């Protein structure tokens, strides 16, 4: 591997835009080790990267990853507790530490990650402006460098990195996530949490997670409703869709010459499920995929696992677009009173459906709310913003 670098822009007004979560998860899929340091983190930011299937596969292969977080702002106790849970979930292969020095006049402010190539043959690294928050990973306008190093250059980088971590550890600046001093400081960052979703008619304290970031959008066609087609041997969590939904609504890219997803800088979407009680699930960062045999365009939906469906029936999923490649979604089984109403709504709003086709449509929030104003997914109010802290 030769040394190389390129500038990456995270700004969806630019056709060549890539999101930080997309390049990080792509790199994890190829890596045999790595480390990162971020000034600020949120629970959803951690979930998008370190609760992904890509990172789980990385850990199952026996690899380790070191993560250093700052707590001078934004990173709160909930985030640190979740970091500890993720470390346990991955068998200790995710090692999370906090960099903090109460006596230092400045703050911990890096945003860097590196990934060791197979057999130590160099690395790929990303250095830029985005934090480990949903805003930093997708929502904000960010700029970062994508660097590739050969074996010799990576060895020098590794010496520098290890030298820094060793010096900081000896100086007492590197702590466990459950260190009492760390938790006391992180408790002061409660203001830095994303504003919890405000749900009309649902107790604020019952909402269990942050809502994903949102940017202002026109209301036209922000809703997509579809029955979930049955996938042989795959259960309901594999959501198959028409190509126009795959590319136009979810903004996945397809290589028109091969008919498969583009492999370089593959786009991802951020999903967050909504329960019928209005609670929000963990963030899901999903890449699209295309079956090599059926040519189905598919995406994994965690909330569809184990949904109760009667023989001959199909669950219904409703998506609500909240920002560039960011979505809330809700899944309804046969026992839900919403299921039949949503299917009928989809039939009425898609004149192109043939009699034997499963109901599906796109609609505006206004159209759906005029018929089903109490639908939990519609009762989530936005915008939702993860604060990245003053002076970031």
DSSP 145-168: EEEEE-HHHHHHHHHHHHHHHHHH
Domain with 355, as residue range(s), is 198-381
CA dist list (Å): 358 to 107, 290, 346: 55, 20, 9
Nearest CA to 388 out of 12, 73, 102 is that of 73
Tell whether 18 and 161 lie within a shared domain.
Answer: yes
Q: Is the pLDDT of residue 34 over 80?
A: yes
Average pLDDT score over residue span 241-252: 89
8 A C-beta contact, residue 220 and residue 321:
no
CA-to-CA distance for 34 and 52, rounded, in angstroms?
16
Residue ending a domain, choose from 177, 192, 207: 192
Range of lowest pLDDT (145-159, 162-176, 230-244, 300-314): 230-244
Among 11-20, 56-65, 199-208, top mean pLDDT goes to 56-65
Q: What is the pLDDT of residue 217?
A: 52
Long-range CB contacts for residues 255-262, cutoff 8 Å, separation at least 24 = 259/290, 259/295, 260/290, 261/287, 261/288, 261/289, 261/290
CA-to-CA distance for 370 and 314, rounded, in angstroms?
25
**268-317 pLDDT per residue, tens:** 899 999 998 888 888 898 988 876 655 678 899 999 988 999 998 999 99
Nearest CA to 132 out of 285, 266, 339 is that of 285
Q: What is the pLDDT of residue 276?
A: 87
Range of lowest pLDDT (30-44, 142-156, 326-340, 368-382): 368-382
Q: Which tops the pLDDT comparison, 198 or 34?
A: 34
CA-to-CA distance for 87 and 95, rounded, in angstroms?
6
- Give the confidence band of 259 by pLDDT, cuts at 50, 70, 90: low
Task: Please give the radius of gyration of the chain, using alpha carbons only, rounded to the nearest integer.
Answer: 22
**346-391 pLDDT per residue, tens:** 999 998 888 788 999 999 999 999 999 999 999 886 544 444 443 3
Range of lowest pLDDT (34-38, 204-208, 247-251, 276-280): 204-208
Tell whether 269 and 154 lie within a shared domain.
Answer: no
Please name the helix (run of DSSP H) or strand (run of DSSP E) that holds residue 292, with its range, or none. none
**What's the whole-model pTM score?**
0.77
Q: Is the pLDDT of residue 194 over 60?
A: no
Q: Does residue 293 lie within any of the structural domains?
A: yes
Q: Which tops the pLDDT comparison, 130 or 260?
A: 130
Q: What is the pLDDT of residue 266?
A: 72
Average pLDDT score over residue span 199-219: 40
Total domain count for the chain? Answer: 2
The CATH code of the domain that includes 271 is: 2.40.330.10
Scan for tokens 């998860």, then name that residue.
Answer: 25
CA-to-CA distance for 191 and 335, rounded, in angstroms?
39
Q: Is the pLDDT of residue 244 over 80?
A: yes
Q: What is the pLDDT of residue 391?
A: 39
Q: Does residue 114 lie within any of the structural domains?
A: yes
Q: What is the pLDDT of residue 65?
A: 99
Tell whether 202 and 187 lie within a shared domain.
Answer: no
Range of lowest pLDDT (130-139, 151-160, 285-294): 285-294
Q: Does residue 266 lie within any of the structural domains?
A: yes
Tell whether 163 and 20 lie within a shared domain.
Answer: yes
Tell whether 241 and 321 lie within a shared domain.
Answer: yes
Q: Is the pLDDT of residue 392 over 60?
A: no
- Give the confidence band of 233 by pLDDT, cuts at 50, 70, 90: low
Average pLDDT score over residue span 33-59: 96
Q: HEC states along 44-61?
A: HHHHHHHCCHHHHHHHHC
Average pLDDT score over residue span 196-225: 49
- Give the confidence band of 196 by pLDDT, cuts at 50, 70, 90: very low
CA-to-CA distance for 238 and 227, rounded, in angstroms?
12
Q: What is the pLDDT of residue 181?
A: 97
Residue ending a domain, choose from 139, 165, 192: 192
Kindly report the backbone phi and psi dihedral angles of residue 208, in degrees, each rounded to the nearest multiple of 5, phi listed first. -95, -10
Tell whether 271 and 373 lie within a shared domain.
Answer: yes
Q: Does residue 390 lie within any of the structural domains?
A: no
Tell whether 243 and 363 lie within a shared domain.
Answer: yes
Q: What is the pLDDT of residue 256?
A: 67
CA dist list (Å): 65 to 56, 87, 113, 166, 386: 11, 10, 10, 16, 25
Residue ending a domain, choose from 125, 158, 192: 192
**69-100 pLDDT per residue, tens:** 999 999 999 999 999 999 999 999 999 999 99
Q: Does residue 333 lie within any of the structural domains?
A: yes
CA-to-CA distance for 303 and 230, rounded, in angstroms?
16
Tell whether 229 and 172 lie within a shared domain.
Answer: no
Tell whether 265 and 188 lie within a shared domain.
Answer: no
Q: Does residue 264 lie within any of the structural domains?
A: yes
Tell whether 113 and 58 lie within a shared domain.
Answer: yes
- Whether the ω angle into residue 383 lies within 30 degrees of 0, i.e. cis, is yes
Range of lowest pLDDT (54-68, 131-145, 295-309): 295-309
How many separate helices (H) and strands (E) can be counted in the chain? 10, 21
Q: What is the pLDDT of residue 121?
A: 85
Tell whether 210 and 171 lie within a shared domain.
Answer: no
Q: Does residue 387 lie within any of the structural domains?
A: no
**4-22 pLDDT per residue, tens:** 999 999 998 998 899 999 9
Which residues are registered as beta bridge partners of 116? 123
Tell whether 186 and 41 lie within a shared domain.
Answer: yes
Q: Does residue 215 lie within any of the structural domains?
A: yes
The CATH code of the domain that includes 79 is: 3.30.870.10
What percentage of residues in the chain have a pLDDT greater than 90?
64
């Amino acid at each position: 591997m030769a040394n190389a670098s390129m500038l990456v822009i995270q700004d969806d007004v630019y056709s060549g835009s890539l999101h930080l979560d997309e390049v990080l998860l792509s790199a994890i899929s190829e890596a045999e080790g790595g480390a990162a340091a971020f000034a600020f983190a949120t629970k959803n930011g951690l979930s998008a990267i370190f609760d992904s299937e890509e990172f789980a596969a990385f850990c199952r292969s026996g690899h380790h990853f070191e993560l250093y977080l700052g707590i001078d702002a934004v990173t709160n106790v909930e985030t640190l507790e979740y970091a500890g849970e993720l470390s346990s979930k991955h068998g200790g292969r995710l090692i999370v530490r906090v960099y903090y020095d109460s006596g230092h006049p400045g703050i911990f402010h890096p945003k860097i990650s590196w990934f060791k190539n197979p057999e130590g043959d160099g690395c790929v690294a990303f250095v830029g402006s985005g934090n480990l928050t949903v805003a930093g990973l997708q929502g904000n306008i960010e700029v970062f460098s994508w660097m590739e190093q050969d074996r010799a250059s990576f060895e020098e980088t590794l010496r520098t990195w290890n030298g820094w971590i060793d010096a900081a550890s000896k100086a007492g600046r590197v702590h466990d996530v459950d260190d009492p001093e760390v938790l006391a400081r992180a408790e002061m960052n409660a203001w830095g949490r994303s504003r919890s979703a405000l749900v009309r008619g649902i107790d604020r304290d019952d909402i269990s997670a942050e809502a994903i970031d949102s940017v202002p959008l026109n209301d036209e066609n922000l809703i997509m409703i579809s029955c979930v087609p049955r996938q042989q041997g795959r259960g309901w969590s594999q959501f198959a869709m028409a190509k126009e939904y795959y590319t136009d609504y979810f903004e996945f890219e397809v290589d028109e010459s091969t008919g498969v997803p583009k492999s370089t800088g593959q786009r991802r979407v951020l999903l967050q499920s909504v329960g019928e009680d209005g609670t929000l699930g963990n963030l899901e960062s999903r890449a699209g995929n295309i079956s090599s045999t059926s040519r189905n365009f598919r995406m994994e939906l965690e909330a569809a696992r184990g949904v109760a469906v009667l023989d001959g029936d199909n669950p219904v999923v409703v998506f609500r677009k909240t920002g560039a490649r960011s979505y809330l979604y809700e899944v309804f089984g046969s026992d839900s009173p919403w299921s039949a109403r949503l299917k009928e709504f989809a039939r009425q709003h898609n004149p192109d459906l043939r009699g034997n086709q499963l109901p599906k449509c796109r609609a505006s929030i206004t159209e759906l709310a005029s018929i089903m104003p109490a639908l939990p997914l519609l009762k989530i109010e936005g915008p939702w913003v993860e604060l990245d802290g003053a002076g970031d």
